[in-house]
C-alpha cells in the first residue's frame, strides 16, 4: 500500500459568526494535531481574510474557499473568482460539493470549468463527487461517481493539486454514514479508475477522502480502510471533536 499523506478538510458551510470563528481557529492553533495530517478549513468567504490573520507562524492548517466561479472577473454579482482567491493568498477551494450540485443546480460542466480555472490560478482543489440515495438504491453509485470524476478530469492538468472527496449525498448532514466497507468500495473504484485513466504513479498518489456525517466516533474505523485517505467534515468541524478526526490515524 502506498503511504499517502492523511488529509482532513473542515467545511464550515454557511454557519457561525466572527467571534465563533476566532474561538475555533484559536483552539485549532493550540491543539495537538497529527503533524502527518494535512488540514484545510473552509469558512464562509466573508471570514476568509479575518481567519488568515489568525493563522500562526507554524501553520498547523491552511484555508480554503467553499466555492469559486470560473470567470476571472466581471458582472457576476455575489460570486468570487479563483483569481481573487489567489490574490488574497487563499490556497485551497472546494468545488462540486453536492449542495452546489443539488441546491444551486451546478452541472458537471460547471464543475469542470471551475476546476480548470482554479488550477490555472495555482489553487489546490478539493473536488467532490457522490451519488444520491435513489442512485445508490438503483446500484448506480460507482457509475455516477466515476461519471462526475470523468467530466472534471479533462480540466485537470496537475493531479498533484487535487484531492478527491467522495461524499454520498444521502449521508451528508443526515446522521447516516456509509459503512467503512461501503465507503472503501467506492474509494477503491475511484483509485482503480485513476490508475487506469491517469496512470499508476498519479493514481496511487492522489488522496481520496470521505465525507458524509463523519464524527469523532466513526473516524478511526473509516481511516483504517486502505483507500480512505482522510475526510471532508461538515458539522463536526465546528465542534471540539474535529481534533479527534484530524488525529484519527494516531
User: How does strand 208-210 pair with strand 62-65?
Assistant: unpaired
Does the annotation count 187 as an active-site position? no
Query: Which three cell numbers mark 81?
Result: 473568482
Which residue in the list 99, 106, 167, 184 is annotated as catalytic? 167
Q: How many CB atoms lie within 10 A of CB 17?
A: 9
**CA 124, 164, 7: angle at the middle one, nearest 5?**
75
Which residue in the list 38, 97, 184, 187 is annotated as catalytic? 97
Q: By the 8 A CB rule, do 123 and 93 touch? A: yes
3-state class of 125 per DSSP?
A: strand
Give the N- to C-terminal CA distance of the chain in Å, as an integer: 18
C-alpha–C-alpha distance, residues 230 and 99, integer Å: 20
Does the annotation count 97 as an active-site position? yes
3-state class of 5 per DSSP?
A: coil
For the annotated catalytic residues, the residue numbers are 97, 167
Amino acid at each position: 500500500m502506498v503511504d499517502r499523506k492523511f488529509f482532513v478538510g473542515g467545511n464550515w458551510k454557511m454557519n457561525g459568526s466572527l467571534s465563533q470563528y476566532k474561538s475555533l481557529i484559536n483552539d485549532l492553533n493550540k491543539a495537538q494535531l497529527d503533524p502527518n495530517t494535512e488540514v484545510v478549513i473552509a469558512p464562509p468567504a466573508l471570514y476568509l481574510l479575518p481567519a488568515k490573520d489568525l493563522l500562526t507562524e507554524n501553520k498547523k492548517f491552511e484555508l480554503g474557499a467553499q466555492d469559486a466561479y470560473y470567470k476571472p472577473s466581471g458582472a457576476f454579482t455575489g460570486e468570487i473568482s479563483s483569481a481573487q482567491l489567489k490574490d488574497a493568498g487563499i490556497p485551497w477551494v472546494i468545488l462540486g460539493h453536492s449542495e452546489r450540485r443539488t441546491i444551486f443546480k451546478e452541472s458537471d460542466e460547471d464543475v469542470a470549468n471551475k476546476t480548470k480555472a482554479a488550477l490555472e490560478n495555482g489553487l489546490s482543489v478539493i473536488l467532490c463527487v457522490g451519488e444520491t440515495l435513489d442512485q445508490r438504491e438503483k446500484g448506480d453509485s460507482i457509475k455516477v461517481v466515476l461519471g462526475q470524476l470523468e467530466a472534471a478530469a479533462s480540466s485537470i492538468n496537475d493531479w498533484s493539486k487535487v484531492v478527491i472527496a467522495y461524499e454520498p449525498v444521502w449521508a451528508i448532514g443526515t446522521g447516516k454514514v456509509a459503512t467503512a466497507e461501503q465507503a472503501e468500495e467506492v474509494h477503491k473504484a475511484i483509485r482503480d479508475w485513476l490508475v487506469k485513466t491517469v496512470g499508476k504513479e498519479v493514481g496511487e498518489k492522489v488522496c481520496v477522502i470521505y465525507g458524509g456525517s463523519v464524527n469523532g466516533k466513526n473516524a478511526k474505523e473509516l481511516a483504517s480502510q486502505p483507500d480512505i485517505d482522510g475526510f471532508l467534515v461538515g458539522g463536526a468541524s465546528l465542534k471540539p471533536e474535529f481534533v479527534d478526526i484530524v488525529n484519527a490515524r494516531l
